[in-house]
Structure 1
Amino acid sequence: MSSAFEVRGGNRLKGEIIPQGAKNEALQIISAVMLTPEKVTITNIPDIVDVNLLIELLGDAGVKINRISRDTCEFQADSIDLKYMETPEFKKKSGKLRGAVMIAGPLLARFGKAFVPKPGGDKIGRRRLDTHIIGFEKLGAQFVYDADDNYFRLEAGNGLKGTYMLLDEPSVTGTANIVMAAVMAEGFTTIYNAACEPYLQQLCKMLNRMGAKISGIGSNMLTIEGVKYLGGCEHRMLPDMIEIGSFIGLAAMTQSEITIKDAGVEHLGIIPEKFRQLGIQLEIRGNDIYIPSQETYEIQTFLDGSILTIYDNPWPGFTPDLLSIVLVVATQARGSVMIHQKMFESRLFFVDKLIDMGAQIVLCDPHRAVVIGLGRQHPLRGITMSSPDIRAGVSLLIAALSADGKSTIQNIDQIDRGYQYIDERLRKLGAEIKRV
């Protein structure tokens, strides 16, 4: 029986909150420690299920791990056990964790072979591995799919060779995995239509500190000159921009005055602007974001008066991970907005729960929803609901915190996968939330 959150809504929250380290960055950065036999120290690690599972998996594979504190860890991959990765235990464990695919690039670069489980993780539509596998093949790896075991085996007997490639989609994990494989490939690799998210920029900067030669960081065209050896380094994760967006939405929905400390403002891209389009006032104060308590917020229209549309795009566009949050926040705004989720099929399948709570939402198709903001005339009602994926889970939590009465959110393992101690941190702001 998994646990649930019991939430009593309607409280105004107040105070400061510090965002955790970025989950999506952590999975890449922690995999990169396998590129060197030297010690790598990583700080601001989020203490969440997905990340802890990956650290455990590396430990099982022979990486020495010294967890100095919950957010700081030393890794040394000087005696990796490649045989372990062919065991049923590894296959079972890595199959549960989407991030496990990220160790393939480093292993291929350093040892010429890797094993990739068929991915687990969120139920938000197809999440294919084609970009990763095709990229590895272009660098000279052969791959065999073992259907009985649901398992890919990759080998580069003659070593990896640099090449030019145009990715069919700017996949963040795909780009990261290919970059980690290419840093030790012979000659030059050019990756066009590369993802350029801050997470990926962080990975490239870290690899360069380890001795890699990557140029074009932050653009969609990366050029990599292969090197023979990478050394150790220190790296600090960025704050999690999805959490920061979630807290901005939470403040607006609950009419709360919240300061988000150390928000890594320069790395947030278009995120603050999108929340401003919903009418939310926020002030950037140095590296903090201050959200004042607002009675109402009004959704802007486009200049010609037509209804605002908010849609996701690869970076520097708006991240798909925050569309669920924007949708929830719009239910209590004044005005209407069309939410268009282009990048994943099933991300909007939680709106039925918001409709049960009293929100006015028209789900047009699996990708589009029109939200008619009620301007707080009718607060949402508390209900019992279950969370389908990490981001929807937090959106439902935000809805529950603003609703009248008691809500129960089941299946909160999904929330714990991406947000550390979220209940404790919200209680410090004055939220009534408990684990049952």
Structure 2
Amino acid sequence: MASIQVEGGHPLKGTLRPQGAKNEALQVLCATLLTEEEVTIHNIPNIRDVNKLIEILQDLGVRVERLAKGSYRFQAKNINLEYLETPAFAQKAAALRGSVMILGPLLARFGYARIPKPGGDKIGRRRLDTHFLGLQNLGADFQYDPATGYYSIQARNLRGTYMLLDEASVTGTANIIMAAVLAKGTTTIYHAACEPYIQQLCHMLVRMGARISGIGSNLLTIEGVEALGGTEHSILPDMIEIGSFIGLAAMTGSEITIPNCHIDQLGCIPRTFQRMGIAMEFRGDDIYIPAQSHYEIDTFMDGSILTISDAPWPGFTPDLLSIVLVTAIQARGTLLVHQKMFESRLFFVDKLIDMGAQIILCDPHRATVIGLDKKMPLRGIRMTSPDIRAGVALLIAALSAEGTSIIDNVEQIDRGYENIDGRLNAIGAKIKRL
């Protein structure tokens, strides 16, 4: 278990360029399995989860060629389905939740797929029902073996149909889309996830020859085609990293520029941080955050405490609630954070309380943050990162704190943030790998 040592209290100044979006990368990498032709993808982040998925694709028989930093060419011409039966696949796929999205492409192209119960962040139950119910709607047979923990699915002929998803699952929607593009007939998916990353996946598939309408809405119509071809695709900047950098700037009183943000794809993220009193300027496609000695949380029109809660897109993404919560610690005012979509995502606040934050954990889903208004700094402590987003929230708290903090299990942060210590050190942070 790796650790980092963080010396807090140093304001930062400079440019933080966002990496390619992790969640989009996991989807479009799996989509390379849908064709035997070459697919080139740019702006792939060099992070643990993405690199693990690329390893799984290589082990399956996908030819992977690195063209430049962040750019790869994939060709899934000779796929070895027997690899799915090996202990090596079981070990790698179980460690990566994104591996679930190989199901749709393999089912569509080869009629069979299986995975072990996937891992990922420990943030409560994350059921896979939406994936399998959607694939069953297309005509697949599903089996789960509780003794081995393996999910298996097979189908001779997938056929398009109408379906109403039980939840707007992003990975579930992606899996169903990738299966439906090669199914016979027309598939209609209602209550589909419509995040920018799902839109990116759909646009990529359309360039490969798929027929998809309704992109950007929660009602998708897919006309199945016989085969897909190759394409070239560029991944969006990571909106979660952009939001993390906005919160980091506010907490540490830093002047930070975030370039090439694709602001039109960020939805309500900038406005949500602005309601927390964080000043920002949009300079073309760059976001500039000036150094602020204070920032004040807004209230609702009747003067009641502002609530920030998560919701499916175009609502506020749950991946940024941990950042919102930690940023509120040094604001002026009070904020209620309501985490609706996951059960255990707020349990990391006990570490923030140990650092001196004034937080009331109301229940597993709600926390009230009473801002310190930078009148009292947090104090450095030793703590453990429980998941990717909470880990970065703890890192932001440590960078703003007085004294030295040590964050254990930093591999969790590395799963989603590329060279985060190196990039922050380049603009004035003092972070050391132990």
TM-score tier by shorter-chain length is: over 0.9
Mapped pair 1:428 → 2:426: yes
Alignment size in residue pairs: 434
Q: Deviations over 1:170-206 (max 9, x none)?
A: 0000000000000010000000000000000000000
> Residue 103 of structure 1 aligns with which residue?
102
Q: What letter matches 2:431 in structure 1?
A: I
CA distance in 2, matches of 1:387, 1:92: 22
Q: What letter matches 1:341 in structure 2?
A: Q
Mapped pair 1:84 → 2:83: yes
Shift of the alpha carbon at 1:217?
A: 0.3
Matched ranges for 1:32-431 at <5 A: 32-157=31-156, 159-431=157-429
Instruction: Specify every segment of 5 or more residues in structure 1 that has no aligned partner in the other structure, as ranges.
Output: none
Q: Match of 1:199, SS?
A: helix
Q: Contact (CA 8 Å) 1:100, 1:117: kept in 2 or not?
A: no
Q: Deviations over 1:332-383 (max 9, x none)?
A: 0000010000000000000000000000000000000000001011110010
CA distance in 2, matches of 1:5, 1:92: 27
Q: Match of 2:314, SS?
A: coil
Q: What letter matches 1:412 in structure 2?
A: V
Q: Match of 2:307, SS?
A: strand
CA distance in 2, matches of 1:332, 1:302: 20
Identity %: 68
> Residue 5 of structure 1 aligns with which residue?
4
Q: Match of 1:374, SS?
A: coil
Q: What letter matches 2:113 in structure 1?
A: A
> Residue 27 of structure 1 aligns with which residue?
26
Q: What letter matches 1:286 in structure 2?
A: G
CA distance in 2, matches of 1:146, 1:352: 37
Q: Deviations over 1:38-63 (max 9, x none)?
A: 00000000000000000000000100
Q: Match of 1:381, SS?
A: coil
Shift of the alpha carbon at 1:312?
A: 0.2
TM-score, scaled to structure 1? 0.99
Q: Deviations over 1:117-138 (max 9, x none)?
A: 2110110000110000000000
Q: What letter matches 1:105 in structure 2?
A: G
Shift of the alpha carbon at 1:152?
A: 1.1
Shift of the alpha carbon at 1:82?
A: 0.8
CA distance in 2, matches of 1:153, 1:375: 53
Q: What letter matches 2:173 in structure 1?
A: T
Shift of the alpha carbon at 1:89?
A: 1.8
CA distance in 2, matches of 1:203, 1:309: 32
Q: Match of 1:334, SS?
A: coil
CA distance in 2, matches of 1:149, 1:235: 37
TM-score, scaled to structure 2? 0.99
Q: Deviations over 1:210-260 (max 9, x none)?
A: 000000000000000000010000000000000000000000000000000
CA distance in 2, matches of 1:86, 1:146: 14
Q: Contact (CA 8 Å) 2:295, 2:331: kept in 1 or not?
A: yes
CA distance in 1, matches of 2:88, 2:380: 42
Shift of the alpha carbon at 1:88?
A: 2.0
